[in-house]
Amino acid sequence: MATLKPPNESLSLISTHWPTITDATKFVLRYAPAIRGYLQMLLSQPADVDEALQDILVTVVQRGFTPDRVHRGRFRDYLIAAVRYSAWRTRRRARATQLNAAQADGLIAPAVAGEEAAWLADWRQCLLDRAWDRLECRQRLSPGNWHYTVLKLTADHPDASSKQLATQVAAAPPLSPAAFRKQLSRARVAFARALVHEVERTLEKPTPDSVMEELAELGLLEHVQRYFRC
């Protein structure tokens, strides 16, 4: 079977990797929905969730990233370890008398299957949201670029024709069905590249093979597979 490889220019755009990102707090906040969702599985009280999230951000501000012994240099592995440790610290501080040894060990032990599945689902959604944001930002900055709009319309109305959807684009002059399809084709490529870019940023040493492996593990390969060379 041929090995899929992302466009060469994609990897060359990465000038830094996640352990050396300057604004570590901002980078962590990109994945705040996944962090909060996982903390809510570990901690029953909303106040504890807020405290644990703040603890993570304070640690990142003070120390930056410390990716020692992170499995394959993936940011999501580093982050899930930090989340579980922060939850453990929060429970210890808030309810020391109610946290027995088994509960404490459970919070710092590796994630179980159900927790892992939920974490991956939230992580995957964060990456998809970032790719959408990237597409929308580029559209705002590029006159005549309707990539975000046409792709969002197509995703929201999968059964509609290009003729029907073209009338909903506020372009001047209006997009013809053929122009809509051309924009859509380019939008799909742009979205695939944006998604690859987001995944690359979460790997310490991204390579085409490691990016493909991460996309496959997260269930995102279907979003980019047809746009990569074999």
Q: What is the pTM of this model?
A: 0.81
Between 227 and 219, where is the model more confident? 219
Cα distances (angstroms) measured from residue 58 to each of 17, 26, 168:
21, 12, 45
Between 66 and 71, where is the model more confident? 66
Over residues 44-59, the pLDDT tens digits come to 889 999 999 999 988 8
Dihedral sign of CA atoms 174, 176, 181, 183 in order: negative
- What is the span of the domain harbouring residue 201? 1-15+127-230
Over residues 17-26, the pLDDT tens digits come to 788 787 888 8
Residue 189 CB partners (closer than 8 Å, separation 6+): 227
Out of 66, 83, 111, a domain closes at 111
Q: Which residues of 197-208 are buried (b: 16+ CB within 10 A; e: fewer)?
A: bbbbbbbbebeb
Tokens of 1: 């079977």
Query: Nearest to residue 42, comparing CAs of 87, 94, 97?
Result: 87
Q: Assess whether 154 and 104 both reside in one domain.
A: no
User: 117 lies in a domain?
Assistant: no
Q: What integer pLDDT is reported at residue 220 of this predicted model?
A: 94
Number of domains in the chain: 2
Out of 84, 111, 138, a domain closes at 111
Residue 147: what residue type?
H
Q: Assess whether 10 and 41 both reside in one domain.
A: no
Q: What integer pLDDT is reported at residue 39 of this predicted model?
A: 93
| The pLDDT of residue 88 is above 60 | yes
Q: Assess whether 6 and 29 both reside in one domain.
A: no
Over residues 90-101, the pLDDT tens digits come to 887 765 545 555
